[in-house]
Structure 1
Amino acid sequence: MTVRNDNLPMVPAQAGQALAEGGVARAREAYERFAEAGEMALNAFEASMAQTFEGWRSVMGSSRETAHQLTESNVAGVRRTREQWEAAGARLYNAFEDNAAHAMAAMREIGHRMLVASDTNIRANLDFAERVAKAADAREVAALNVTFLQEQARRLTDQMVDLHQTTSRLAREAAARTETP
């Protein structure tokens, strides 16, 4: 038994399928542009952070040079104090730079894994939409939907496990760096 709604215009099945496939293709193209823009934004952020760290290096270097010039005119006791201060400053600066580099690397790894997971999920959704647009009937759509939901549940579980393992490993590595002298 077919239920008709006389208020809606009749659209041939092939025309509807072609319209759906065209819509999915446009969505895929739009996502590709979005993904490229996201990659460009990530690269710009990394370049900005690198410039910030370079600025810190410059400030720390000029501070050490200024301190060196000021204490150069003092007596031997002050010279010894200056050397101790410079050594402590160098250790502090090296620790700061090392920690910043590790933090940036950790943020980059987590961000990369999240971007890859998002990209994988969006592409899977677009692939699913393409298959639904090409489906012959409602039974095929229902079967595609069940399969997609099972695959997506597995994919999300794998992604969450990967992200948990990555963040746990990075936290352990950070803790180990703080425990070593």
Structure 2
Amino acid sequence: MTVGNDNLPMVPVQAGRAMAEGSVARAREAYERFAEAGEMALNAFETSMSETFQGWRSVMGSSRETAHQLSESNVAGARRMREQWEAAGARLYNAFEDNAAHTLAAMREIGHRVLVASDTNIRANLDFAERIAQAADAREVASLNVTFLQEQARRLTDQMVDLHQTTSRLAREAAVRTETP
């Protein structure tokens, strides 16, 4: 049997199905490469941020050492000033590092949840495309479409609730850290 349209050449059903299945397979392969590249980018970002913090640590350490050397040559008053400066600098740096670490962890958790949700949705769409390509007739296509739309609506609702709960929890945790001395 062949399927026809007045504006298109006649294409045998099996050839059309084979083209559709091949296209879905190529799309799935392309997505797998995209997902892998995304994960590599996320890992590179985390590595870069880690190296940035290491740089901050070394700068703070060298500043402390320089201050220590300079103040060693002064009298007891300078020593007290150095100790106060070091304590204030340590508190400032520790607060900065703590806040930055928590912010990055929160960003990573939200980003991870968004990536997982996106990945789930794309894979569901590719699976749906495969089922459509293998459908026997228009009735089966319509049934698959209705089922897919219902599943997708549930999936998106669950993902949005999860993302809302996650961001709310992270905001509450940040507020508690801000309020605690």
TM interval, short-chain normalised: over 0.9
- RMSD, aligned CA: 1.2
Q: What does 1:1-181 correspond to in 2, within 5 Å?
A: 5-181=5-181
Distance change >3 Å, CA 6–CA 169, structure 1 → 2: closer
The CA distance in 2 between the partners of 1:132 and 1:177, in whole Å, is 51
Unmatched 5+ residue regions in structure 2? Answer: none
Distance change >3 Å, CA 90–CA 7, structure 1 → 2: closer
Q: 1:107-159 deviations in whole A, cap 9, x for unaligned?
A: 11111101000000000000000000001111111111111111111111110
Q: TM-score, normalised by structure 2?
A: 0.95
- Which residue identity is paired with 2:169? R
Q: TM-score, normalised by structure 1?
A: 0.95
Distance change >3 Å, CA 178–CA 7, structure 1 → 2: closer
The CA distance in 1 between the partners of 2:94 and 2:32, in whole Å, is 41
* Identical pairs, percent: 89
Q: Secondary structure at the match of 1:9?
A: strand
Whether the 8 Å CA contact 2:4–2:11 is kept in 1: the answer is no
Moved over 3 A (4+): 3-7
Bigger relative contact order (CA 8 A; separation at least 6): 1
CA deviation after TM superposition for structure 1 residue 8, in Å:
2.1
The CA distance in 2 between the partners of 1:169 and 1:161, in whole Å, is 12
Structure (1/2) with the larger strand percentage: 2
Unmatched 5+ residue regions in structure 1? Answer: none
The CA distance in 1 between the partners of 2:103 and 2:47, in whole Å, is 15
The CA distance in 2 between the partners of 1:59 and 1:4, in whole Å, is 72
Q: Secondary structure at the match of 1:125?
A: helix
Q: Secondary structure at the match of 2:100?
A: helix
- Which residue identity is paired with 1:107? M
